[in-house]
């Protein structure tokens, strides 16, 4: 009942886990950029809100491990504005995706943990997390578990969390090669993606990572396209045979499962994804030659 709706604001992680165990039906809120929209429009009436914004450790990040095993452990509530300022080196595609999110007001509040909690197919961080093989750190009073990102998204706005679990952090492997993110929308700010795409190349492991946003019931990876590109690329120099970029784009488009909706048609999304995939690939190859943000950036890729 609405009148009993409760608001709890723990100041420690242990207290948050205890509160979630006691009330598994409570809805976690932190930046509020998703949750408050649902409350304002009465789309949801959770019996309780669990405010995580007073838990300091959720707003911290750290670097773990060395060399090819290095990863960024990103606290669930680190706002996008700080990802842009502090993590563009080890997490370039995540920083790039963060710059496309909402507006300054949204980026100072919204976080990757919240994006994962909402698990929208259009969440801007998701394609990057898929492309970089991130791992979600979930925890409850029963213990902690690591959920590989490719097992995290179960359906439209459904994720693999148990009712008593909270997201504590996300482990993102530090970039070992070029990474790019691109998004299609009607303007530069305040846009829910029509579709989006992230690409991460790892020359050490000879691995290609992809992530597709807003073109399926969940964010998707494109494993066939990844295997194709990993086989075609001349590692570690990152040279590519003629025509391979176009074929890569076609395979990414084929991995999408888009629908027609208010933001775009399924056909348009497939077409745009093929363009974004070939374009981000050309940017990555240019970065490999000239360093991130190098001269090759504006190379046109035919649609």
Which stretches of the chain bind other proteins, using CB under 8 A? 2-3, 5-7, 9, 29, 31-33, 35-37, 39-42, 45, 49, 51, 53, 102-106, 108-109, 188-190
- CA atoms of 74 and 22, how far apart (whole Å): 26
> Nearest distance from residue 9's CB to other proteins, in Å?
7
- CA atoms of 250 and 244, how far apart (whole Å): 10
Instruction: Give the gyration radius of the chain's Cα atoms.
Output: 19
Minimum CB distance to other proteins smaller for 36 or for 141: 36
Residue 159 in tokens: 């994720």
The helix (H) or strand (E) run that includes residue 201 is strand 195-202
DSSP class of residue 262 equals: T
The residue whose two tokens read 């259009």 is 122
Minimum CB distance to other proteins smaller for 110 or for 213: 110
> Nearest distance from residue 107's CB to other proteins, in Å?
9
Minimum CB distance to other proteins smaller for 142 or for 297: 297
> Nearest distance from residue 104's CB to other proteins, in Å?
6
- CA atoms of 42 and 45, how far apart (whole Å): 7
Contact between residue 20 and residue 104 where contact means Cβ atoms under 8 Å apart: no
Contact between residue 161 and residue 24 where contact means Cβ atoms under 8 Å apart: no
> Nearest distance from residue 82's CB to other proteins, in Å?
11
Q: Which residues make Cβ contacts (< 8 Å) with residue 62, sequence separation at least 6?
A: 72, 73
> Nearest distance from residue 64's CB to other proteins, in Å?
28
> Nearest distance from residue 108's CB to other proteins, in Å?
5
Minimum CB distance to other proteins smaller for 4 or for 234: 4
Minimum CB distance to other proteins smaller for 33 or for 179: 33
Minimum CB distance to other proteins smaller for 5 or for 301: 5
């Amino acid at each position: 009942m609405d009148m009993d709706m409760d608001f709890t604001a723990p100041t420690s992680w242990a207290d948050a886990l205890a509160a979630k165990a006691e009330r598994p039906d409570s809805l976690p809120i932190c930046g509020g950029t998703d949750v408050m929209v649902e409350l304002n429009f009465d789309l949801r009436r959770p019996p309780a809100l669990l405010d995580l914004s007073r838990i300091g450790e959720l707003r911290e990040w750290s670097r773990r491990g060395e060399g090819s095993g290095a990863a960024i452990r990103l606290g669930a509530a680190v706002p996008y504005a700080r990802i842009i300022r502090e993590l563009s080196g080890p997490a370039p595609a995540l920083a790039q995706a963060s710059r496309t999110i909402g507006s300054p007001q949204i980026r100072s509040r919204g976080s990757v943990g919240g994006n994962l909690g909402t698990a929208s197919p259009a969440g801007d961080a998701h394609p990057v997390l898929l492309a970089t093989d991130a791992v979600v750190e979930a925890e409850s009073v029963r213990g902690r578990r690591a959920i590989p990102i490719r097992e995290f998204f179960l359906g439209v706005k459904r994720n693999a969390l148990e009712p008593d679990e909270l997201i504590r952090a996300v482990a993102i492997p530090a970039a070992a090669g070029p990474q790019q993110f691109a998004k299609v929308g009607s303007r530069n700010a305040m846009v829910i993606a029509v579709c989006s795409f992230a690409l991460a190349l790892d020359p050490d492991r000879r691995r290609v990572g992809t992530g597709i946003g807003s073109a399926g019931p969940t964010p998707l990876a494109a494993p066939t396209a990844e295997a194709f590109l990993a086989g075609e690329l001349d590692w570690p120099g990152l040279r590519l045979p003629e025509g391979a970029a176009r074929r890569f784009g076609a395979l990414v488009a084929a991995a999408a499962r888009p629908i027609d909706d208010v933001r775009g048609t399924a056909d348009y999304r497939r077409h745009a994804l093929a363009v974004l995939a070939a374009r981000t690939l050309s940017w990555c190859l240019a970065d490999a030659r000239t360093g991130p943000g190098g001269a090759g950036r504006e190379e046109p890729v035919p649609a």
